[in-house]
Every structure is written in C-alpha cells, then in structure tokens.
Amino acid sequence: MSVTYPAPHPSVAAPLLAAVDSLLNRPETLDMGVYYDTDPVCGTTLCLCGQLVTNHYASLAMPVPADVVKTNSWSSAARAITALTVEECSRLFHTIDWPEPFRTRYRAADAALSDLYHVFRRQTDSPMDFPMDQWTDRERAAYRKVAMRRVHILADRVDAFLYSDDHA
C-alpha cells in the first residue's frame, strides 16, 4: 500500500526549491558547513539556509540585514521567511541531522571535492589557497562536476523533506 503525503505549504516549498535552483546554477558555491562566507578559493560560499535567506532579500532588492550576518542568525531568518520550526531547520540545514542515506552520500561527495582541490593545489606546489580563477578550464570542469554531485544530493534531501512526513 502506498502512502500519500500532503503537498508542502508554498511558503516552505517555494523558497527551498528556489535556493536549490540557485545552487544548481553555481554548484561550486555550496558549502553546508557555513551559512555565508567569502572564500578565497571559490568566492562566496553558502549553505542551503544562507542561499534561502540571500535569495529572499535579493528578491526584495535589499541586502541581507547586518544583524543576520553579524549575529550569525541565518537559521532564525530562514524560519521567519518560511515558518519552518527549529527542528525542521535542523533537519534541513545541518547535515549531521540528515537521515541516511543523504548524510553519508553528502559527506562522501564533500570529501571527494576536498580531495580534488588538494590534488590541484599540490600540482602548483602552492602552500596557500589556490583561487579558482587560476585553475585551468579542465580543473574547473572537474571541480564543478563533483560539486554538482553535492547539490544533487542536497536537492534529493530537500525533496525528501518536502514530500514525505519529515516536515509534518
């Protein structure tokens, strides 16, 4: 017997799916370990929560409020935008709280991306960060392909959250 779950509320689904779409367009910016950061390698990196909040304020033609950035209250801002609970935010925004197999799949893809970066850096004997603008087209394409894998795992996690009893 098949179980049917109700469709998620648009105030939850629309911003989450828009954030995933943004990350699909720039997969190298995804880093589920930070809400929002300026990374010397990839430029701006952010997690699902950071992308959701950034998209919301961009749609209003406003910068993210300074207090959100200063106090690192990205999750609170996401809750205000979507009406997600604290527990739901944790299950979405913290990979340690993701159910299997999403957690293991994301960690493996994240480790592969890190390994790839370190291979590129060793090729240049650079002790410092190796900014993407100094990479060859082949290196960028390889990195993007592996980064895209992480975003697809994130997209699967969001879909599972939205279209199961995980959000109920």
Span between the terminal Cα atoms of the chain, in Å: 20
Residue ranges of domains in the chain: 10-167
pLDDT tens by residue, the chain, 168 residues? 555 555 667 778 899 999 999 999 999 889 898 888 875 555 578 899 999 999 999 999 999 999 998 888 999 999 999 989 999 999 999 999 999 999 999 999 999 988 887 777 666 555 456 667 777 888 889 889 999 999 999 999 999 999 886 655
Q: Six-digit token pair at 34?
A: 């930070």
Q: At 15, which amino acid appears?
A: P
> Distance (Å, rounded) from C-alpha 112 to C-alpha 85?
32
Measured from the Cβ of residue 164, the count of other Cβ atoms closer than 10 Å reads 13
